[in-house]
Amino acid sequence: AAETDVDRLLDLLVEKGVVTKDDAVGFRADLAVKKQEEKETQKEFTVIASKPIKISGYTQLRYRNDKSANDVFDVRRARFNIQGDITERFDYRTQVEFGSTAVTLLDAIVGYKVNPYLKLILGQTFIPFSQENLVSNTKLETINRSQIVEATTARSTNDILGNKNGRDIGIQASGSLFPKADYNLIDYAFGIFNGAGINVSADTNEQKDYVGRLIFHPIKTWSLGGSYYAGSYAASATSVNVDRDRYGLEFAYVEDPVSFKGEYIKGHDGATDKDGWYLQTGYYFIPKKFQGVFKFDNYDPNTNVDKNEKDVYTLGGNWYFNKWAFLQVNYEFKDEAAKETDNNALTGQLTLQF
């Protein structure tokens, strides 16, 4: 009955010339999307224990057709997350990965809300460096992260630390400052970490790694900022320490249906300097349903070596069935300056969340 009343009211407003037919169609579409989102939200649930517990997770199933390797289906990720509040100020979160060859603890943190502008987090979690590093895998607009992000945030073997899923063990302070009507002028995060990666029982040296990220929002749809990481790495307690430093600049503009994002990062691993950047744009051809994405990704693994850069052009499409499930298809055209290799890749990935 409520929907019928809205339709009658819109028809009357169109008849009186208060709104146009196009405006009425757009309003009906927005209302339908909102109702669908409300239905989907009702699917969320909590488990009642001594304190309410929120359980969530996701699975990402992938098909990869890489001309330099065999085609393969795999379970790329299967993650299970538990979180909740202990008191009004204390909360916790634990996340485990089941999709790899061995079950891996990814996150194990306790948070303390000091005030509305400051929260302390202790445990194993993301290092606050790089825009793309901090985006959840379920929110990425491309299937893969950029080469330079993976090579400087411990997300691949191209980082001297290895693949640690962008995480480490330590303590950090984060928050937002100068609140506006519907956004904050500044977001910040600063942390001290072991610098040895995840699931390590002891640090491999006496030094601690320091990292900070500061983001400025001149308006709601724009963000500009940078990150800095100063650290050292030792493969073992008896190994020689080497510097592991990074800095990065980033921007993002997001206003449906369009988005623009980019970063530049420079890293220093011992005697090796590396840098890279990416630019990415997305557009929703069908609101909240179909998004087209294009990305250019440049990476130089050693700036002291000539003709060493690697470029990746990604053309992709994302189809969102609802807020819980979406399908991504990416074609990556790869151009390496050092050699001519036919290693372009077609990848499809289905994400299911609960």
Assess whether 206 and 154 both reside in one domain: yes
Assess whether 17 and 106 both reside in one domain: no
Three-state SS sequence of the chain: CHHHHHHHHHHHHHHCCCCCHHHHHHHHHHHHHHHHHHHHHCCCCEEECCCEEEEEEEEEEEEEEECCCCCEEEEEEEEEEEEEECCCCEEEEEEEECCCCCCEEEEEEEEEEEECCEEEEEEEEECCCCCCCCCCCCCCCCCCCCHHHHHHCCCCCCCCCCCCCCEEEEEEEEEEEEECCCCEEEEEEEEEECCCCCCCCCCCCCCCEEEEEEEECCCCCEEEEEEEEEEEECCCCCCCCEEEEEEEEEEEEEECCEEEEEEEEEEEECCEEEEEEEEEEEEEEECCCEEEEEEEEEEECCCCCCCCCEEEEEEEEEEEEECCEEEEEEEEEEEECCCCCCCCEEEEEEEEEC
Q: What average pLDDT score do residues 128-147 get?
A: 98
Residues β-bridged to residue 225: 215, 250
**37 compared with 220, residue with greater pLDDT:** 220
Q: Is the pLDDT of residue 235 over 60?
A: yes
CATH value at residue 136:
2.40.160.10
Radius of gyration of the chain (CA): 23
User: What's the token pair of residue 34?
Assistant: 């909102």
Q: Is the pLDDT of residue 3 over 70?
A: no
Assess whether 20 and 59 both reside in one domain: no
* 70 phi/psi in degrees, rounded to 5: -70, 145
What's the CA gap between 93 and 81, in Å, rounded?
7
Q: What is the pLDDT of residue 238?
A: 78
How many residues are given for the chain? 354
Structural domain span for residue 30: 1-42
Q: Is the pLDDT of residue 83 over 70?
A: yes
Whether the CB-CB separation of 227 and 213 falls below 8 Å is answered with yes
Assess whether 128 and 27 both reside in one domain: no
Assess whether 209 and 93 both reside in one domain: yes
Q: What average pLDDT score do residues 121-136 get?
A: 98
Assess whether 163 and 202 both reside in one domain: yes
Number of domains in the chain: 2
Assess whether 131 and 86 both reside in one domain: yes
Residue type, 123: G
pLDDT in tens, 192-203: 999 999 998 788
Whether the CB-CB separation of 195 and 231 falls below 8 Å is answered with yes
pLDDT in tens, 253-308: 999 999 999 999 999 999 999 999 999 999 999 999 999 999 999 999 999 999 99
Q: What is the pLDDT of residue 327?
A: 99
Assess whether 108 and 19 both reside in one domain: no
User: What's the token pair of residue 52?
Assistant: 């309410």
Assess whether 25 and 82 both reside in one domain: no
Assess whether 158 and 70 both reside in one domain: yes
Assess whether 2 and 110 both reside in one domain: no
Assess whether 160 and 298 both reside in one domain: yes
